[in-house]
Each structure stands twice: as C-alpha cells, then as structure tokens.
C-alpha cells in the first residue's frame, strides 16, 4: 500500500533543539513534518488515529473532499510512515502508526531547557 515500503522515514532520536541539524537530518525530518503540514491531511490523520481503524469510504464525507483527493492524501501519510493501509475485500482499512507520531514528538521536544 505504501508507495515506498523500504524507504526509511524513521525519525532519529535527536531533538531539534539539541544540535544543529545536518542537511540530511533536516531533509528526513522535514519530509515527515510536511506530511502533517496540511489541514486536510491533519484531519485525516486525526480521524484515523482517534479510531481503531477506518476505511477510506468514511473519509470523504466528513472532510468534503473528492475521492481522488482523499486517496492522494492517504498516500502521502502512508509514505511518511504515519499510517498503514490493509486491503481487506473491497475496502482499504487504515490504521495510525503511533510509534512514528511519538518519534516525531520526541524529535521536536527540547532535550532540556536552554540554560540561560
């Protein structure tokens, strides 16, 4: 389901404010942040994450977006490792990946208050 299954989008453990990020670190972290930096994707993710699992057919109506648009956004969220989809019968069921979200929160957290 994910377009790039082998691609490692795992976020490293280093908090943003701990040291100056390298170009590579910034690139990887920005990719995951970009996946959430859209109101529609953020709502899609919150709907998926706040439930056990949900199929795409239940996303169009509350978000008032077309089916291709929903498909486009779920694809991006999956590519970022934030959700995973499983095709059962005719429907695709989406689940959130809590580990990736927690890793993102950790990466953004201050290691310790900047000593002033």
Partner DNA sequence: CCATTGGATTGACATCCATCGATGTATTGA
Partner DNA sequence: TCAATACATCGATGGATGTCAATCCAATGG
Question: What is the contact surface with its own copies in residues (CB under 8 A)?
Answer: 16-21, 23, 26-27, 29-30, 33-34, 36-40, 42-43, 45-47, 49-50, 52, 62, 96, 98, 101-102, 104-106, 108-110, 113-114, 116
**Counting contacts by CB under 7 A, is residue 19 touching DNA?**
no
**Counting contacts by CB under 7 A, is residue 34 touching DNA?**
yes
Distance CA 96, CA 102 (A): 11
Q: Which of 30, 43, 32 is nearest to 70 (CA)?
A: 43
Burial class (CB in 10 A: 0-12, 13-18, 19+), 84: middle
Q: 3: how many CB neighbours lie within 10 A of its CB?
A: 9
Assigned token pair, 27:
């690139």
Q: Name which of DNA, its own copies, none residue 71 binds, using a CB cut-off of 5 to 8 Å depending on partner kind.
A: DNA
Residue 34 or residue 111: which is nearer to DNA going by CB?
Answer: 34
- DSSP code, position 1: -
Give the interface with DNA as residue ranges (CB under 7 A).
1, 3, 34, 38, 40-41, 55-57, 65-76, 85, 89-92
């Amino acid at each position: 389901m994910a377009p790039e299954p082998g691609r490692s989008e795992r976020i490293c453990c280093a908090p943003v404010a701990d040291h100056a990020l390298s170009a590579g670190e910034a690139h990887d972290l920005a990719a995951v942040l970009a996946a959430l930096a859209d109101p529609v994707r953020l709502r899609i993710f919150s709907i998926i994450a706040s439930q056990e699992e949900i199929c795409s057919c239940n996303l169009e109506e509350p978000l008032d977006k077309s089916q291709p648009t929903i498909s486009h956004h779920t694809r991006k969220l999956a590519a970022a490792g934030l959700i995973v989809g499983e095709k059962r019968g005719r429907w695709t069921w989406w689940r959130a990946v809590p580990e990736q979200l927690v890793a993102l929160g950790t990466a953004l957290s201050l290691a310790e208050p900047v000593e002033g």
